[in-house]
Structures are given as structure tokens and as C-alpha cells.
């Protein structure tokens, strides 16, 4: 969910909340996610989810950009070892033809989310293409389980995108903290940084889906060990919403 500047076409700009979204972009760059996420939650529509106000000792783990045979199986093994459910925001072109992985994600008790067809900024899509991709990915995933949420590529959204998703029964989930696994990132340090931010209601965003992100399994293993030691329980986004005050 890397934050990129959207195109300057009038119908694709962030719309009514340019100040809020600009603050979000700055926060993502400076790794100051949690305070700004809470600010944005008050500044933008209630159908955009950044965190959940709860007293329950629970956090939601979400994974973007899969599935991929080089990352998803090992990640699922780690989650299974910790008995930790998660929400997977899946890219349609990567999910196509990966029925075995999709079945395993669902069978292991994880939640399926719509991350559109390709790993690119969703806000740059023309309106008709955006709607078509939402429908294509939901149709691809729904045989394996319910699809309740979507996450726009690169994190930018517009009022029109939210309305189109709402018509399809999909709620936009961004998140509270974001890390990007990759060959230049220390997977253990990423886990430690996430643990520093962890508190009830947090939605963590991690990334898989490419061979260069194999270390996401290591990050997740260390993260889950730390959450357990801190008395925090990993849940899906839907489960976290059920724990709202």
C-alpha cells in the first residue's frame, strides 16, 4: 500500500478531504502512522476504516498484494503455528489460477479482501474500470468465502470510489500502521517497530505477493510472538469490528 501522488485529473483527486489525505501521505513517508490514522478517522467518512475503537486486547493483521507461491504458503504456515487469523487483501491477477492457495487461505480461517486486479494506484483507474475491477476480483474470491472489504492500491481513494464500493457492499479498509517487506528491509526490525505501535484496535498492514517479500513470514513470526507476550490477540478485520466499543 505504498502512497503515491495521484493523477491530477479532476474526477480522480482525493476530493473533499485533500488536507486529510495530504497529512496521510506525509505520515506514511515519515512512519508516523498511528496518530494521523486516528485524526483521519475523524476527518473522513465513517466507511473508511483506519483502526477500531475497542478496549479488547486485539489487533488485526492484514496482508496486501498476494497470493504468490513464493510467499503465501510460508506465511500461512506461520499464521497456523500461532493460530492467528488474518485478512488477506488479494490482487486479482495474482489470485487467478491460484485456487489451491485461495482455498487454503479460507480453510485456515482467514478473511478475503479485494485489492483490485493489479498492484497499482487504484485512484488512477477510470470510473468504469474501477467498478469492473472491483466486480472481477470479488467474483474471483467469493467462491472461497465472503468479501466484505476492499483496499485501494497505494492507499488513495475518492468519494466516487467509496460510493461505488458501497453499492457493492464493500467497505474501504486502510490501516493504522504500514510496513513494506522487501530485500532491503530487516524483517526482525520491522516486527519490532510494529510491536512498538501495537495497541488495542490497531490494523497492521504488511506486504507479500512477490518473491522479494519472502521475509514477510519471518516478520510475522516475530510479530506474533511479541503480540502474545504483550497480551494482544490477532484477529481478522471483521472480528475486530465486532469488538468495537
> What does the buried/exposed string (b/e) look like for 57-67 if buried means 16 or more CB atoms within 10 Å of the residue's CB?
ebbbbbbbbbb
Q: How far apart are CA 168 and CA 138, in angstroms?
A: 9
Question: Catalytic: which of 68, 144, 207, 222?
Answer: 207
Q: Are 20 and 36 in contact (CB under 8 A)?
A: no
Q: At what angle do helices 99-107 and 72-81 cross, to 10 degrees?
A: 10
Confirm whether 207 is a catalytic residue: yes
Q: How far apart are CA 175 and CA 226, in angstroms?
A: 20
Per DSSP bridges, beta strands 177-178 and 233-235 are unpaired
C-alpha cell of residue 24: 496521510
Confirm whether 99 is a catalytic residue: no
Q: Are 71 and 210 in contact (CB under 8 A)?
A: yes
Q: How far apart are CA 240 and CA 110, in angstroms?
A: 13
Residue entry with cell 488474518: 86
Residues acting as catalytic residues: 64, 207
Amino acid at each position: 500500500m505504498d502512497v503515491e501522488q495521484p493523477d491530477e485529473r479532476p474526477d480522480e483527486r482525493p476530493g473533499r478531504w485533500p488536507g486529510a489525505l495530504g497529512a496521510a501521505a506525509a505520515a506514511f513517508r515519515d512512519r508516523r502512522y498511528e496518530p494521523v490514522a486516528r485524526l483521519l478517522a475523524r476527518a473522513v467518512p465513517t466507511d473508511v476504516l483506519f483502526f477500531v475503537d475497542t478496549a479488547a486486547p486485539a489487533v488485526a493483521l492484514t496482508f496486501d498484494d498476494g497470493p504468490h507461491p513464493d510467499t503465501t504458503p510460508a506465511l500461512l504456515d506461520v499464521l497456523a503455528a500461532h493460530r492467528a487469523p488474518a485478512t488477506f487483501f488479494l490482487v486479482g491477477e495474482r489470485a487467478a489460477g491460484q485456487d489451491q492457495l485461495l482455498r487454503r487461505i479460507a480453510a485456515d480461517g482467514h478473511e478475503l479482501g479485494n485489492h483490485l486486479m493489479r498492484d497499482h494506484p487504484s485512484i488512477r483507474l477510470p470510473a468504469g474500470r474501477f467498478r469492473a475491477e472491483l466486480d472481477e476480483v470479488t467474483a474471483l474470491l467469493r467462491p472461497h468465502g465472503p468479501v466484505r472489504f476492499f483496499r485501494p492500491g497505494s492507499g488513495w481513494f475518492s468519494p466516487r470510489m467509496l460510493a461505488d464500493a458501497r453499492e457493492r457492499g464493500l467497505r474501504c479498509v486502510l490501516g493504522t500502521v504500514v510496513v513494506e517487506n522487501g530485500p532491503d528491509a530487516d524483517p526482525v526490525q520491522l516486527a519490532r517497530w510494529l510491536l512498538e505501535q501495537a495497541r488495542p484496535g490497531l490494523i497492521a498492514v504488511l506486504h507479500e505477493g512477490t518473491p522479494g517479500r519472502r521475509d514477510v513470514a519471518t516478520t510475522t513470526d516475530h510479530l506474533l510472538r511479541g503480540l502474545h507476550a504483550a497480551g494482544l490477540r490477532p484477529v481478522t478485520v471483521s472480528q475486530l469490528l465486532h469488538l468495537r466499543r
